[in-house]
Amino acid sequence: MKKTLNVIAIVTVLMLFGSCKNETKKAETPKPEVEESLKVSKKDCNEVHWSHHKGEKGPENWKDLCDGFADCGGKSQSPINIVTSNISKESKLVAPKFNYAKSAINIVNNGHTVQFNITGENTVDLNGKDYKLLQFHYHAKSEHTINGKYYPIEVHFVHQHSATEYAVLGMMFEEGKPNKLFSKYLDKFPTSKGEFKSEDMVDVLSLFPSDKNYYNYQGSLTTPPCSEVVNWHVLKTPLTASKEQIAQFSKILNSNYRPIMPLNGRTVGQSN
C-alpha cells in the first residue's frame, strides 16, 4: 500500500509540483472508527500545506506532515553537498545523449517554484536508459552545493523513465552574461500563483551549457513527498544570468531551496 501511495504521491507532485490543491482522490478511505485516531497520520497529503521556510510546515518537519511524506526522513535524500575530492573514480559514466525537439511551453508559478511545463517528445539517453522530459523549474539559492559553495539559482530538468525511475538534470547559475530565456520571459513569470501560456516553441537544448558532463548520485525529489526515485545528474558547468536577472528572479522564488541532506554512505560518480 505504501508503494502505491508513494507512486500516487510522485505522480501528483510532478503534475502539480507541490501546489497545495486537493484534486486527487484518496487512494484509501480509512474506516470511520479508526479515522479519528489516525487523523493526523492518515491525512490526505494533497491537503497538506508545506513550506520551504523554517517552522511548523518547514523542511525539518515535512516527514511528519502526513504518511505520504515519510520519505522526507529517509536515508537517500536530496540535495547534497558534492565534494569533488571524494568523487568515485570507478564509474564509467558517459555524457548524456539528447533527443530534444522544439517544445511548446507553459510557465506556471505553483506557489513553490516557477515551472516550465513541456509538451512533446523530448528524451535523453543517460548511460543506456531513456528518460522523457516532463518539466523544468527553478530554485534560489541553489539546492546542491559543490565543495560547500552555494550558487544563486539552480534549475532542475525533470525526466521520467517509469513510475519509479526519474532523472533530474540540475544546473547551477552564476553571475555573468544575461540569460537568454530570462531576458525573454522573466517579465512574464507569474510573481504569485498563476500561469503564462505561450505560443512560442522553445529549443530546450539551447538552454544547456555546451559541456554537459555531470556529477551523479542516487537521491530524491527535493520537495514533498521526497520520494527516493531520482537518478541525479548535476552538471559541472554553470549557466549565467545577469546580476539584475538573479535579483529579480530570486525575489519571485523566495528562498525555495531545501537544506543539504546527509550523504549516508552514498557515493557520487561523474562523467568526464
CB of 168 to Zn ion, least distance (A): 7
At 31, list the grid cell. Answer: 474506516
Total of chain residues touching Zn ion, rule CB under 5 A: 1
Q: Mapping DSSP to helix (H, G, I), strand (E, B) and coil, where does residue 248 land? A: helix
CB of 221 to Zn ion, least distance (A): 8
| Closer CB to Zn ion, 27 or 207, in the complex | 207
| Closer CB to Zn ion, 52 or 156, in the complex | 156
Vertex 96 angle, CA 128 and 123, to 5° = 75
Q: Does 156 bind Zn ion (CB under 5 A)?
A: yes
Measured CA distances, 203 to 12, 99, 206 (Å): 27, 11, 6
CB of 253 to Zn ion, least distance (A): 11
CB of 190 to Zn ion, least distance (A): 17
Mask for 109-148, x = binds Zn ion (CB under 5 A)? ----------------------------------------
Residue 112 bears catalytic tag = yes
In sequence order, the β-bridge partners of residue 178 are: none
| Closer CB to Zn ion, 45 or 226, in the complex | 226
Burial of residue 237, with CB atoms counted within 10 A of its CB: 0-12 exposed, 13-18 middle, 19 or more buried: middle
Number of Cβ atoms within 10 Å of the Cβ of 44 = 16
| Closer CB to Zn ion, 2 or 193, in the complex | 193
Exposure string over 193-213, b if 16+ CB within 10 A, otherwise e: eeebeeeeebebeebbeeebb
Mind telling me the catalytic residues? 112
Residues binding Zn ion (CB under 5 A):
156
